[in-house]
Amino acid sequence: MDVPDLPLTGLRVIEFTHMVMGPSAGLVLADLGADVVKVEPKGGDRTRQLLGSGAGYFPMFNRNKRSVCLDLKSPEGREAAERLCMQADIVVENFRGGTLERLGLGYADLKAKNPRVIFCAAKGFLRGPYEDRTALDEVAQMMGGLAYMTGPPGRPLRAGTSVIDIAGGMFGVIGILAALERRHRTGLGGEVKCALFESTAFLVGQHMAQRAVTGQSAQPMPARISAWAIYDVFETARPDEQLFVGVVSDSQWRAFCQEFQLPDLLSNPDYATNNKRVHARMQLLPKVRSLFGQYSRETLAERLESIGLPFAPIMRPDDLFEDPHLLAGGGLLNVTIGEKMTTLPATPLEFDGARMPLRRDIPAAGAHNRDVLREVGFSDLEIDRLIE
């Protein structure tokens, strides 16, 4: 189902991807209205069969797409893939370097026949000594300093989601959209490359800048000196219901003290400014912990919201299925995984006050073979042979 007023309606994307980085780029383009055709191998993308922490990869990143299964090792499969790319605006791939080039489907091959094509390669590294290395999200987090910053000292810890895969995919989309705008002026496509390692470096750049400003290396987040005195997770009257609270300005400090009737803290000159409170953090925090321990999380949240302080209950991903804000705002889309209905997060954007809809459910492998191949000129007899 096409929605004609979505921003990228009318663009055709061919996606040669697996796992997370490439599919996440395709997902954003698909959610924004592009017709994304995912080319899978015979039997379907192996990401479909992952277990454990990988079990959610395929359903999360492949809605709003059409699926075509092709045997790219056969001449017929390669010809079909090439014909798809000849009518494409955008091609996205995240296989190991040289894979599509060996199949005659690299950027140079496609550009020669379709000079308007925008080719996005999502890789482990950009140009440099590492560019031929194999990388994963975790590899990039470890060597890019993110795992060091996330875990306690001496215990590097990857972030709790595929943050670099997803960030890398988003940078890829930024590059694609920039190339589209350039194509409006020049009529020509171009090659975009995004990468895991460089995405990680960009994300930890604030800590590199901290070293440049202070002359001292950034400490891992659990051991850092916070920029604010009250910027932590606190236990409430029920220890299993924790709450993050931040007081990040002097005006917020005054509002906090007034709301909770703390005139002694408000009048104490040692707490008068943010930097003074940071220096007195070890004396101040026990007082705040004792205060918060007297209230339920619900009561604290109501009072903090009333005075405009940043706060957050500590939740699990499972809790988001019932999050009232996501439910009310269209932040969850109904999808089918196997034979089970569930909801998954929408792309976090609004256009003209509306969220991006679900146009196509998660596709079965090869579900759109006939439709897509007919669109690029294959006869029913040719399609039957390809399917066989």
What tens digit of pLDDT does each residue of 265-278 get?
A: 999 999 999 999 99
List every span in the chain annotated with CATH 3.40.50.10540. Answer: 12-203+324-387
Indicate the fold that domain 226-317 takes in CATH: formyl-coa transferase, domain 3 (3.30.1540)
Query: CA–CA separation, 84 vs 62, rounded Å?
Result: 19
Mode of pairing for the β-strands spanning 118-123 and 90-93: parallel
Dist. CA 202–CA 350, nearest whole Å: 25
Check residue 224 and give its pLDDT: 83
| Spatial CA neighbour of 284 closest among 324, 332, 240, 245 | 245
What confidence score (pLDDT) does residue 109 get? 97
Q: Residues 86-137: pLDDT tens digits?
A: 999 999 999 999 999 999 999 999 999 999 999 999 999 999 999 999 999 9
What are the DSSP calls for 346-386, one per residue?
A: PPS-EETTEEPPP-SPPPPTTTTHHHHHHHTT--HHHHHHH
Report d(CA 159, CA 199) in Å as an integer.
14
Which tokens hold the place of 57?
Answer: 């990869």
CA dihedral sign of residues 136, 137, 139, 140: positive
Alpha-helical segments (H) within the chain: 21-31, 57-61, 75-86, 99-102, 107-113, 137-143, 146-150, 163-186, 196-203, 205-214, 250-259, 263-267, 274-279, 281-292, 297-306, 324-328, 369-375, 380-387
Name, in order, each residue with C-beta under 8 angstroms of 267's C-beta and a sequence gap of 6 or more: none
Pick the CATH number of 12-203+324-387 from 3.40.50.280, 3.30.70.1430, 3.30.530.20, 3.40.50.10540: 3.40.50.10540
Show the tokens assigned to 158. Answer: 């990857």
**Cα–Cα distance list, 4 to 10, 32, 40, 90, 357 (Å):** 8, 11, 27, 19, 12
- Residue ranges, the chain, pLDDT below 50: none
**pLDDT tens digits for 33-51?**
999 999 999 999 999 999 9
Radius of gyration for the chain, computed over Cα atoms and rounded to the nearest angstrom: 25
Q: Which ranges in the chain are annotated with CATH 3.30.1540.10?
A: 226-317
